[in-house]
Structure formats: structure tokens, C-alpha cells
């Protein structure tokens, strides 16, 4: 793992624990709702809560998965390139993804503020939605940092390769 990226590994792991709690809560809530439906006593708002927890699960698991390089990558073409070209492609990819998730973070914050100011709540439970959108922004912000540090590491690696004289 890269040195700069290593600094974000512990907070990304904490985010992943929040994601694990969210997916566990989704599972338990869904199972309880199914069992209670048999008794004709479903849990109101299950669909809403599972949706909001799903957003939490996805956004909070992104950074840790990225630090572990756990995302699916189709790299059969990139593997045939030289190590320098592989690093360049990794750098460009990390920069583009960091920019994309920076925009997603920014727009999520704006959307959460708009939801908060308008007093938007969920349909069944009348629960405020903006904290979950702020959570999405937080998760995407952490991913942005991981991708930014990865791009800096790749760029430094490229510079180091260029400074080493070739024989």
C-alpha cells in the first residue's frame, strides 16, 4: 500500500465499520419485518429505513474498499503495458475519480442543506432525510481524499522513475 494512502487507512476502516453496522441493521430489520408480516404485524417504514441504510452502507464502504484495492478492475490491457505506463494510467484514473467524487461530495452537501432548509422528511416515518445525505457526502469525501492521495503517490512514483538515469 502507498505511504500517503496508508494515513487514511484507519479512518477508512472506521467508515467501513459504520457500513457494516448499516448492512447488519438492514438485514435484521428486513428479517424482522418478514417474520412479523407472517403475524400480520409488519414494521412501518421498513422500506424507507432500508433505503437510507443502503445509502449509508454504500457511501461509507467506498473508501475502505478503495484502500484495499477491492474494486473490480478490468486491467487485462493495462497489464501488458510497461510499469511506467501502468503508473501513469493509475495516476490519471485516480485524478479523474477524485475530481468526480469531489463534485459528488460538494453536490451532496448542497442537496443535504437544501433538504434541511426545506424540512424534507420521509413519507411514512416523517424522519429527516438530510442527515443521511450528509453521510453520503462524508463517505464520498473520504473516498475523494483516498483517491487524491493515490494520485499524488502515483505522480511521485512517476517523477522518481524519470529522475533515475537509464543505462
Over residues 15-45, the pLDDT tens digits come to 999 999 999 999 999 999 999 999 999 999 9
Compute the distance between CA of residue 64 and CA of residue 89 in angstroms, rounded to an integer. Answer: 21
Which pTM does this prediction carry? 0.87
- Mind listing the pLDDT tens digit for each residue in 80-96? 888 888 889 999 999 99
Burial class (CB within 10 angstroms; exposed 0-12, middle 13-18, buried 19+) of 152: middle
CA distance 155 to 55: 32
Helices (H), 39-129: 46-67, 83-118
Say whether pLDDT at 162 is over 90.
Answer: no
Provide the grid cell at 20.
Answer: 457494516
Q: What is the largest CA-CA distance in the chain?
A: 78
Amino acid at each position: 500500500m502507498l505511504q500517503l494512502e496508508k494515513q487514511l487507512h484507519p479512518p477508512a476502516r472506521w467508515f467501513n465499520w459504520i457500513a457494516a453496522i448499516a448492512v447488519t441493521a438492514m438485514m435484521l430489520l428486513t428479517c424482522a419485518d418478514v417474520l412479523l408480516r407472517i403475524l400480520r404485524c409488519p414494521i412501518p417504514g421498513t422500506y424507507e429505513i432500508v433505503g437510507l441504510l443502503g445509502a449509508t452502507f454504500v457511501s461509507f464502504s467506498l473508501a475502505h474498499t478503495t484502500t484495499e484495492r477491492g474494486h473490480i478492475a478490468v486491467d487485462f490491457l493495462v497489464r501488458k503495458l510497461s510499469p511506467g505506463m501502468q503508473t501513469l494510467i493509475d495516476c490519471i484514473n485516480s485524478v479523474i475519480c477524485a475530481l468526480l467524487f469531489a463534485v459528488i461530495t460538494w453536490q451532496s452537501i448542497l442537496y443535504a442543506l437544501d433538504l434541511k432548509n426545506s424540512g424534507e422528511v420521509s413519507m411514512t416515518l416523517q424522519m429527516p432525510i438530510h442527515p443521511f445525505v450528509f453521510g453520503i457526502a462524508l463517505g464520498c469525501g473520504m473516498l475523494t481524499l483516498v483517491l487524491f492521495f493515490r494520485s499524488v503517490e502515483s505522480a511521485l512514483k512517476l517523477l522518481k522513475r524519470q529522475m533515475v538515469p537509464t543505462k
